[in-house]
Structure 1
Amino acid sequence: MRKFKTESKKLLDLMINSIYTNREIFLRELISNASDAIDKLYLKSLTDASAQVDQENLAITLSFDKDARTLTVSDNGIGMTADELEKNLGTIAHSGSEEFKEANADKQGDAVDIIGRFGVGFYSAFMVAKEVSVVTRAFGSDECLRWTSDGIEGYTIEPVAADDPAYRETCGSDVILTLKDNTDDASYDEYLSEYTLKDLVTRYSNYVRYPVKMMVTKSRQKEKPADAGDDYKPEWEDYQELDTLNSMTPIWKKHASDVKPEEYNEFYKSTFHDWEDPARTFTLHAEGALEYDALLFIPGKAPFDLYSRDYEKGLELYSSNVLIMEKCADLLPDYYNFVRGVVDSADVTLNISRETLQQNRQLQAMERRIEKKITSELESMRDTDREAYEKFFGNFGRGLKYGIYSSYGMKKDELAGLLLFWSAKNEKYVTLQEYAEAMPEGQKAVYYAAGDDRDRLAKMPVVKSVLAKGYDVLLCTEDVDEFCFQAMRDFTAKGLPKVYADDAAREAAEKAQADGAEAETEDRSLELKNVSSGDLDLASDEEKKAADEAAKANEGLFGAMKDALGDAVAKVTVSAHLTSADDAPSSVSAEGPVSLEMEQVLSAGPDAAQAPKATRVLEINAAHPVFAKLQAAEEAGDKDKLALYTSLLYDQALLTEGLPVADPVAFAQNVCKLM
């Protein structure tokens, strides 16, 4: 026996027990090695006239023997000489494939795709095998050799006699694994199962360029005997057939024009276990310093666990058609976590186990390009198929909003244009850009109302008052909406009609347009304003003046009302937007960064006790008949009646806003007192 060197023994132990996290990938590694061996033979046939290869017969074959507990991976590739066995298998971490690639870099082209890189994949076999034999015959050699090792002490290399059943008549290699005995923690019998082997090939090696074949058991109906009577019942029998387990050609490597939509749909449903066709399918091919192909899908519906902690984002990452990671999270930003697909690149720098990557900057470059492609496709869907986009947004729009909030508004330029909100004025979903384009002249902000019910929001007095001014209001019903708008702060609308500084400039522009010039446009930053905030500034000068005069004239009344409410409100004042007897008698607004809706969302969270509170302001409609009742109670010195009226008005305003009253029992009792 030839002994492994001490250093090699330590390295081999590391290969077997530390580098790979999942033992089932041993089959991926052995199939990749077999594919490399066939590629080497094929490349030799391109440069050596004596090496004639029948491409149709190039294949990798799996077989197993349950009684002997052996699993065999065979190829009809280039095989190995005694020196190559010594160098490639006797020297750990020596990659014959990598050496071959470097020596033939100018000859490979697209017809050959050598996968091996580190020279350690073969040793993953010892994760499941107590002994590994390699029976091989090199191309052009008359000698068949056997390399055998237990993966502990060393290995032997010996010739195989012609009368030995293992003797190879042609070039190629058979890797024979004698599986470990089962333990309480691990069952190795599973690798002696048709089902398991087919599953591993489909999962990890489905797109290896050569067919991976295995004898599989199938069932068929027996022929009906000629003398069978009318009561004959069909009989079935099992039979063995050599079947190809892998599909070989990746669908993402084909030109999009050569693939039918149904084929993409079927690939998506079978690969990602979805019952519905994807809402959108698109491909990406990148060239340059980092080349890769991507096939991406936007699902037709949201997974049930999309917004749970257990949901894992990520794209399938392949290198040279071999699956490296089932979910590479670094290829997608969180707000596009719903996207599914595959990315294949031979250029990514893998770690030694081929389970993770070494260079984050490669992933970052790919992620940026993929992100831009997804954004572009969503914009196209928004503009060309609005019905489909609205359905998409209903499924995944929440994540886009959260992307703006979680990035503290840094991603608003990329994502704001994809958002949809319900227009109270037009009663349909609109984008922020569409909202801006429909604004009347002079509007300087985007107005929105946040709550849990669209119909209730539309009936709010403050929403009606804003609509009465001719301005639209976006009705937002998701808990993330308020946080999203707070993070955005403003929205830059593109190509709006230019606003001129004075009449002279406007007249000059109008004259130029009359002479044939195009109308001037500009990008304009619009503040995002919650209609329940206290700084809408929509009142006319006359309305502001009237409100100020009423507030000054009734300072004593408002002071008494503030005293009656205590710390529930910061102040009581006259409303500048409730200005007629037909409007509501009162409303509640918020001052400062915490809105009423934000307070409600935070109070439902796990840290409700520490959640910040909105600074509430009770606004009174001075034109409403109730205001006269308040004045009369204050003039009469009836503090109890004034406190009763104040409490009712405040609770009424809260209910109108969709907010809970602090003491429902007291509210009910106050209503009874009034009755």
Structure 2
Amino acid sequence: MRAFKTESKKLLNLMINSIYTNKEIFLRELISNASDAVDKLNFKALTDSSIQINPDDLAVRLSFDKDARTLTISDNGIGMTAEELEQNLGTIAHSGSQEFKQEHAEHQGDDVDIIGQFGVGFYSAFMVASQVRVVSRAFGEDSAHVWESDGLEGYTIEDASRESHGTDVILTIRENEDATDSGLSERFDTYLSEWGLRDLVQRYSNYVRYPIQMMVTKSREKERPADAGDDYQPEYEDYQELETLNSMTPIWKKRSSDVSEEEYNEFYKASFHDWENPARSISFHAEGSLEYDALLYIPAKAPFDLYSRDYQKGLALYSSNVMIMEKCAELLPDYFNFVRGIVDSADVSLNISRETLQHDRQLRAIASRVEKKIASELVSLRDENRELYEQFFENFGRGLKFGIYQSYGAKAADLADLLLFWSAQQEKMITLAEYAAAMPDTQKAIYYAAGDNRERLAKMPVVKGVLARGYDVLLCTADVDEFTFQAMRNYQAHGLPKVYEDAAAAEAARKAQADGAEPELEDRTFELKNVASGDLDLATEDEKKDAEAATKEHENLFAAMKEALAGKVERVSVSARLAEAPACITTEGALSLEMEKVLARGPEADAGELPRSQRVLELNTKHAVFDKLVAAQAAGDAERVQLMAELLYDQALLVEGMLPEDPVAFAQRVCELM
């Protein structure tokens, strides 16, 4: 018995129980080691003409024996001498692959694709095996040697026999363990079954560059006997066949010109378990300080759990074709959480278990590039196939809006032009840029109305008032819309026709264009304004004078109505925005009526008193109802003024899609007035 050349018991215990969080990755590690051994021999043959091997014969072979409880991972690679067994397996954390990789760094990824880095992957075998036996014969050697250990105190190295060069790693798989009070049960039998091994290979090692083969059991119909009668029933028999379990060449490393759209779609459906083709496939290769390949997909429809707390975002992270993480959340921002795909890089610095990365800056660099690429592809989809983009936005637009709100507007510059809203004027979905391009030169803001129903919003008096002045209104029906606009505050439109300060400058520009000059363009910034909040400043000078005069003339009436509404409104005022309706409710401050409704539906509603919007009751002084109010005030009929004030307030609430605070009292007032 030879002792390990380290503090073996402590370090091996660390290898087996602390470094890896998932036992099933042992097969990934051992297959990666086998692939490295095959790669070394292949590289040796490429650089030494005296070595003759058939590259098609290079492979990794899996086999298992249920009765003996052994799993064998074999390769026909370069093999190891007794000294190399001592050095590579007897010295924990010594990586022969890493040394080879450094010596031939200029060929990495070309003639050679070494995976190993730390020299500890082999010891993951002890997570599932009670005994490990390694039989190896070095290329060019006549004799083989066997390394054997139980992973406790030490190991033995003895002479052995093997027909040809290569290595066999033979694991004696542990017995199943029943559940205890301190943990879950362990079903080690999974590693002694065809389906279990096939699943692990396809999940973690599907794209190792050499075939991973295994004898599998298949069924076939027996030949029909010559004397079989009409009542003959077909009989079947099982047989063994050598099958390659992995696909080897990853689709994301092929040139996009060599892959058809159908192939991309089929890979997406098979890999991400979707029945529909993706809306967009994105394949690109990045070079520089970090080199990586990426294949991304934008799904056609949102998964059912996309907006649930249990949904896990992330891209599959591979290193040299070996899967490191099934879902690396750091590669995607939350607002692109719907994107599925793969990133593969040999340059990322993995930790010792190869399950996470050591340097966040590498991950951030890749994530930044991925984010920009996704945004660029969405812009292309928006401009090239508007119908498909609108379908995409219906499924995933809420997340883009939430990205702006969640970042307090910091991501507005990146995401604002991807948003779509319903135009009340054009009666279709438009972008903010399209809204700005269609607005009159005199318009100074982008107007929107927020609610839960597009048809109701279009009929609201405050919306009609803005439309009547020739300005479009965006009808926003998502609960996050107004929060998004509050976070954005304004929108900068690029490349708009220049607005000149005076008629002379405009005329000079017109003449210059008539003589062949290019139209002057400029960037303009527009405030985002809710049509139901604050003063929109749309009134003409004459309308403002009329409102001031009416306010002064009916000052006592407005004071009486405010008192009648008992603190429900901040004030009662003359409206310059109403054309047909007798009254409307607007708000002052950051909290609108729609935001108040959204908060009332949220989980905070049960926690205590919610914030309330600062409401203003605006009256249309040209409406017949206002004349009735003036008459009641002049007659000293305080009760009628109060009745009409409360009724107008409740009616305005109904128009906003909100119930009166006391529906019974509202009904009684209507009957009393009738």
TM range (shorter): over 0.9
User: Secondary structure in 2 aligned to 1:296?
Assistant: strand
Corresponding residue number in structure 1 for 2:492: 492
Alpha-carbon distance in 1 for matches of 2:107, 2:379: 43
Is the Cα–Cα contact under 8 Å of residues 43 and 108 in structure 1 kept in the other structure?
Answer: no
Hey, what's the Cα distance between the residues in 2 that align with 1:454 and 1:103?
Answer: 67
- Aligned partners of 1:369, 1:513: CA distance in 2, in Å? 41
Give the drift of 1:610: 4.0
- The CA deviation at 1:611 is 2.9
SS of structure 1 residue aligned to 2:7: helix
For 1:603-614, list aligned pairs within 5 A.
603-608=600-605, 609-614=608-613
Preserved CA contact (<8 Å) 2:207 2:321: yes
Counterparts in 2 of 1:44 and 1:5: CA distance versus 1, 3 Å: closer
1:163 alignment counterpart: none
Quote how far apart the aligned CAs of 1:108 are.
Answer: 4.7
Match of 2:124 in 1: 124
Alignment partner, residue 76 of structure 2:
76
- The alpha-carbon deviation at position 171 of structure 1 amounts to 0.3
Q: Who is 2:29 aligned against?
A: 29
> What amino acid sits opposite 2:243 in the alignment?
D
Contact 2:143–2:162 (Cα < 8 Å) also in 1: no
Instruction: State the one-letter code of the partner of 2:581.
Output: A
**1:344 aligned partner:** 344
Equivalent residue, structure 1, for 2:652: 653
8 A contact 1:131–1:149 mirrored in 2 = yes
CA distance in 2 between partners of 1:188 and 1:371 (Å): 41
Instruction: Tell me how far apart the structure 2 counterparts of residues 591 and 108 of structure 1 sit (CA, whole Å).
Output: 65
Secondary structure of the structure 2 residue equivalent to 1:495: strand
Residues 313 and 337 in structure 2, CA contact (< 8 A), matched pair in contact too: yes
Question: Which residue number in structure 2 is paired with residue 598 of structure 1?
Answer: 595
TM-score by length of 1: 0.98
Query: Residue 181 of structure 2 corresponds to which residue in structure 1?
Result: none
| C-alpha distance in structure 1 between counterparts of 2:6 and 2:335, whole Å | 50
Matched residue type, 1:652:
Q
Residues in 2 aligned to 1:183 and 1:630: alpha-carbon distance in whole angstroms: 84
Report what 1:282 is aligned to: 282
Q: Is the 8 A contact 1:94 1:118 kept in 2?
A: yes
Structure 2 residue 166 is matched with structure 1 residue 172: yes
CA contact (8 A) 2:569 2:616 kept: yes
Separation (CA, whole Å) in 2 of partners of 1:612 and 1:529: 21
- Paired with 2:381 and 2:253, the residues of 1 have a C-alpha distance of 24
Give, in whole Å, the separation in 2 of the partners of 1:186 and 1:391.
46
Contact in 1 for aligned 2:4/2:92 (Cα 8 Å) = no
What letter corresponds to residue 400 of structure 2 in structure 1? L
Q: Where does residue 428 of structure 2 map in the other structure?
A: 428
CA apart distance, 1:195 = 0.3
**1:182 matched to which residue of 2?**
176
In structure 2, how many angstroms separate the alpha carbons of the residues matched to 1:508 and 1:105?
66
Q: How does 1:45-444 map to 2 (within 5 A)?
A: 45-108=45-108, 110-160=110-160, 167-184=161-178, 185-444=185-444
Check whether the contact 2:285–2:293 (CA below 8 A) recurs between aligned residues: yes
Contact 1:490 1:527 in 2 (8 A): yes
* SS state at 1:607 partner: helix
- How big is each residue's C-alpha offset from its partner over 1:542-574, in whole Å with a ceiling of 9 and x where there is no partner? 111111111110011010000010111000011
Aligned-pair distance for 1:229?
1.4
Distance 1:671 1:587 in 2: 18
- Asked if 1:506 is matched to 2:503, the reply is no
Amino acid paired to 1:623: K
The alpha carbon displacement at 1:109 in A equals 5.6
Amino acid at match of 2:92: I
- Whole-Å separation in 1 of the counterparts to 2:502 and 2:533: 31
CA distance in 2, matches of 1:5, 1:436: 72
Deviation at residue 614 of structure 1 after TM alignment: 1.0
> Aligned partner of 1:463: which letter?
V
Q: CA deviation at 1:100?
A: 1.2
Shift of 1:541: 1.0
Q: Indicate how the Cα distance of structure 1 residues 585 and 637 shifts in structure 2: closer, same or farther if over 3 A, else same.
A: same
**In the alignment, is the contact (CA less than 8 A) between 1:8 and 1:91 conserved in 2?**
no
Report the alpha carbon displacement of residue 517 of structure 1 after superposing the two structures with TM. 0.5
For 1:5 and 1:219, the matched residues in 2 are separated by 50
For 1:644, the equivalent position in structure 2 comes to 643
2: CA distance between counterparts of 1:101 and 1:62? 25
**Amino acid of the residue matched to residue 554 of structure 1?**
H
* Contact 2:8/2:154 (8 A) holds in 1: no
Give SS of 1:563's match.
Answer: helix
Compare 240-249 and 40-49 and name the one that shifted more: 40-49
In 2, are the aligned partners of 1:320 and 1:345 still within 8 Å (CA)?
Answer: yes
In structure 1, the residue matched to 2:568 is: 568
| Structure 1 residue identity aligned to 2:121 | G
Quote the Cα distance in structure 2 between the aligned partners of 1:633 and 1:220. 96
Q: In 1, Cα distance between the equivalents of 2:267 and 2:587?
A: 52
Give me the whole-angstrom Cα distance separating, in 2, the residues matched to 1:136 and 1:585.
93
Residue type of the partner of 1:183?
E
Deviates more, 1:220-229 or 1:125-134: 220-229
Asked whether the equivalents of residues 5 and 90 of structure 2 are also in contact (C-alpha less than 8 Å), the reply is: no
**Secondary structure class of the residue paired with 1:89:** helix
- CA–CA separation in structure 2 for the residues paired with 1:104 and 1:345: 18
> Residues 166-223 of structure 1: CA distance to partner in whole angstroms, max 9, x if unpaired?
x311000000000112111212111101001000000000000000000111111111
In structure 2, what residue type is equivalent to 1:360?
D
Query: Relative to structure 2, which stretch is displaced further, 180-189 or 103-112?
Result: 103-112
Task: Give the Cα–Cα distance (whole angstroms) in 2 for the partners of residues 610 and 411 of structure 1.
Answer: 32
Task: Provide the C-alpha distance between the structure 1 equivalents of 2:341 and 2:476, rounded to a whole number of angstroms.
Answer: 32
Mapped contact 2:8–2:153 kept (Cα < 8 A): no
What is the alpha-carbon distance in structure 1 between the residues aligned to residue 452 and residue 106 of structure 2? 65
Equivalent residue letter for 2:643: L
Give the alignment's TM-score, normalised by structure 2. 0.98
**How far has the Cα of 1:49 moved from its partner?**
3.1
- Cα distance 1:568–1:108, how it changes in 2: closer, same or farther (>3 A)? closer
Cα shift at 1:271: 0.6
Question: Counterparts of 1:485 and 1:265 in 2: how far apart (Å)?
Answer: 36
Q: CA deviation at 1:528?
A: 0.5
Q: Deviations over 1:35-67 (max 9, x none)?
A: 000011111112223321111110000000000
1:654 maps to a residue whose letter is L
Structure 2 residue aligned with 1:559: 559
Give secondary structure in 1 for the equivalent of 2:276. Answer: coil
- 1:636 partner amino acid: A
Alignment partner, residue 547 of structure 1: 547
**Pairwise CA distance, 1:288:** 0.8
Deviations 1:64-97 (A, max 9, x none): 0000000000000000001100000000000010
Q: How many residue pairs end up in the alignment?
A: 666
In 2, Cα distance between equivalents of 1:655 and 1:321 = 61
Find the aligned partners of 1:181 and 1:117 in 2 and give their Cα distance: 31
Contact 1:569/1:616 (<8 A) preserved:
yes
Equivalent position SS for 1:566:
coil
Amino acid at match of 1:642: V
Following superposition, the deviation at residue 346 of structure 1 comes to 0.3
Residue aligning to 2:626: 627
Identical pairs, percent: 71
1:482 maps to 482
Change (3 A) 1:6 1:115: closer
> Aligned residue for 1:164?
none
Detail structure 1 runs of 4+ shifted over 3 Å in the superposition. 106-109
Question: 2: distance between equivalents of 1:361 and 1:611?
Answer: 42
Q: How many angstroms apart in 1 are the aligned matches of 2:55 and 2:192?
A: 29
Q: 1:211–1:244: 8 Å Cα contact kept in structure 2? A: yes
On the 8 A contact 2:6/2:91 being kept in 1, the answer is: no
Counterpart for residue 182 of structure 2: none
Q: CA RMSD in A?
A: 1.0
Which residue number in structure 2 is paired with residue 584 of structure 1? 581
SS in 1 for 2:265: helix
SS of the equivalent of 2:90 reads: coil
Deviation at 1:423, TM superposition (A): 0.5
